[in-house]
Structure 1
Amino acid sequence: MNANTPVFAVHLLNMGIMPECPTTGVKMHTGLESFQPWAYTGLVAKSDDTTVVINTGFPLDMQPVQAFFAAWHSRCHVERSEDRTMDGHLQRLGIAPGDVDHLLLSCLGPYSTGRVELFERCPIHIGRAEWVDYHAPPPNFPPQPRDTIIPPQTLSRLVFEDWPRVNLLEDEDEICPGIRVFRTGGHHAGSLAVAINTRMGTLIYADTLFTYENYEQNIPIGFFRDQDAFHAAVRRIRREADLIVPFFDPVAFERYPDGVVTR
């Protein structure tokens, strides 16, 4: 980053809490019969002249999502109040959807794609590898809940009405000055780490890191697509990050009260 690179203030968004997530899904080969809290998050990054939203949270209709998680285990249920929808977060931060300059989906899942339709003006950035994997997974890959990963009405808009605004990112790309991505894989085939220039240095937000424990103790994630990619991502993030925000760790909201990561 050079001296003229914009500096972003970053807010972490609480999109919902799963009070009981299987621990073995969070930390591989750990807690085979235990459960732990699990958070779903998004980010808003603002510089003097640019607003970037990273992931949009769950759809307003949570019924398909709850059924999807209940298929993991009957104790898996997301608690999400109205103020934790993307609509509620934007209102709290005083941001109108039309004021957002860039929307980034760092991965494709019900917790990232649920409110894409709010953003009718800005470019929609999606990793090319993730987009291809969704539409053309490897042969014999287990069936995926496609309608839950991307709600049908959202997918239709992305493919047709909004397609001119869709930007398929390469593995090392810049969203705008001060925000770049690199593909980590690990959790999803096309998982992207997001590197943001802040007053505290480079912040990296990545769904390949579920919790601080995964990063700090080198414990692989349990819900993984590629374990080797997890370890490679951790090595790179250690080289490049001044601070990290894991994607699913409720502890982040203790470290950053009111979701204020950097001002």
Structure 2
Amino acid sequence: MGKFKIHPIVMGSKRFDKGMMTYQHDYGQPYIIPIYCWYIEGGDKNILVDTGEMQPVISEDREKDLGGKIYTFEEGLEKYNLKPEDIDIVIHTHLHNDHCENDYKCENAKFYIHKKELEHIRNPHPLDYRYLEDYIDEISERDQIIVIEDDQEIVPGIKVVNTPVHTEGGMTVLIDTDGGTAAITGFCVIRENFEPPVQIKAMEMEVIPPGTVVNTYQAYDWMIKVRDMADIIIPLHEPEFASLDTVPQT
């Protein structure tokens, strides 16, 4: 079959301390990240990775700082002549609220979600307030969820791998593209996490774990594994994609 193209669609944003993304580094530095829904073009299925925020803050200052337009779910899909009911498959990197708030709109889709994410959203630890079961109630009631327990191929050319970095059930999505294997990370990072500045590399660190992790040592090791299994790394919240219609090389 043909290769896939990956289209980032900004469906939200967050302003916060940069240290939320870069473990032990750049605390106190204001930062803005995009929240993406990724449209995977190719094959005979309409596929999304995550669904973004239901009611994103859309303002001139946020779009200026991101360098790209912020869309509602419907507006973002309309760019590709799609409606929520046209979506066949949604693959979830994880179930923190900003990644799944529009799930209920995709009434005809199958949702691929790791078992541990479903366990945590239904019984969250107090520290993990980002899990809100309300956002998956409807797809659960409509029996749309396919539970993932092991690494597996979703369709030919698209595979998921459990990467317990940011959450225990986080899944990195490996996609066959013209430029090679692209990895949409199953954990919340930016480019700098994979390409640290020289002062961090001088500390003999190859990567920087995200600011919120399950286990810091394990997160570091998993980031190295993800880096080495892909030709194109797509950090889940990297701002560089906000101004692009298609991820370069895909």
Q: What is the TM-score of this pair, normalised by structure 2?
A: 0.83
**Residue in structure 1 matched with residue 203 of structure 2 by the alignment:** none
* Cα separation, partners in 2 of 1:11 and 1:109, compared to 1, 3 Å: same
| 1:188 shift after superposition | 1.2
| 1:143 shift after superposition | 5.1
| 1:34 shift after superposition | 1.8
Q: Out of 221, 231, 243, which is 2:220 matched to?
A: 231
Instruction: Write the mapping of 1:164-243 to structure 2, written as runs, cut at 5 A.
Output: 165-208=144-187, 210-217=189-196, 218-243=207-232
**Residue in structure 2 matched with residue 26 of structure 1 by the alignment:** 21
Q: Whole-Å Cα distance in 2 between the matches of residues 234 and 142 of structure 1?
A: 26
Q: Whole-Å Cα distance in 1 between the matches of residues 23 and 195 of structure 2?
A: 14
Q: Out of 56, 59, 68, which is 2:54 matched to?
A: 59
Q: Whole-Å Cα distance in 2 between the matches of residues 124 and 221 of structure 1?
A: 26
Instruction: Write the mapping of 1:112-131 to structure 2, written as runs, cut at 5 A.
Output: 112-131=99-118
Contact 1:56–1:114, Cα closer than 8 Å, also in 2: yes
| 1:136 shift after superposition | 3.6
| 1:253 shift after superposition | 3.1
| 1:97 shift after superposition | 2.5
Contact 1:16–1:84, Cα closer than 8 Å, also in 2: yes
| 1:56 shift after superposition | 0.6
Q: Whole-Å Cα distance in 2 between the matches of residues 159 and 209 of structure 1?
A: 25
Q: Whole-Å Cα distance in 2 between the matches of residues 14 and 83 of structure 1?
A: 5
1:43 aligns with 2:27: no
Q: Whole-Å Cα distance in 1 between the matches of residues 85 and 136 of structure 2?
A: 20
| 1:231 shift after superposition | 1.6
Q: Give per-residue Cα distances to partners, 1:189-240, cap 9 Å, x unaligned.
A: 1111000111111100014251111012211211222212322222222221
**Structure 1: gaps (5+ residues):** 63-78
Q: Out of 90, 101, 126, which is 1:142 matched to?
A: 126
Q: Percent identity?
A: 21
1:100 aligns with 2:84: no
Structure number with the higher helix fraction is: 1
Q: SS state of the match for residue 188, structure 1?
A: coil
Q: Whole-Å Cα distance in 2 between the matches of residues 181 and 25 of structure 1?
A: 25
1:87 aligns with 2:74: yes
Contact 1:184–1:229, Cα closer than 8 Å, also in 2: no
Q: Whole-Å Cα distance in 1 between the matches of residues 162 and 211 of structure 2?
A: 19
RMSD: 2.5
* Cα separation, partners in 2 of 1:127 and 1:91, compared to 1, 3 Å: same
| 1:16 shift after superposition | 2.1
**Residue in structure 1 matched with residue 63 of structure 2 by the alignment:** none
Task: Count matched residues.
Answer: 232
| 1:261 shift after superposition | 4.0
**Residue in structure 1 matched with residue 140 of structure 2 by the alignment:** 159
Q: SS state of the match for residue 37, structure 1?
A: strand
Q: Whole-Å Cα distance in 1 between the matches of residues 168 and 234 of structure 2?
A: 20
**Structure 2: gaps (5+ residues):** 58-65, 197-206
Q: Whole-Å Cα distance in 1 between the matches of residues 187 and 136 of structure 2?
A: 24
**Residue in structure 2 matched with residue 70 of structure 1 by the alignment:** none
**Residue in structure 1 matched with residue 98 of structure 2 by the alignment:** 111
* Cα separation, partners in 2 of 1:261 and 1:169, compared to 1, 3 Å: farther
* Cα separation, partners in 2 of 1:85 and 1:151, compared to 1, 3 Å: farther
1:10 aligns with 2:6: yes
Q: SS state of the match for residue 93, structure 1?
A: coil
Q: What is the TM-score of this pair, normalised by structure 1?
A: 0.79
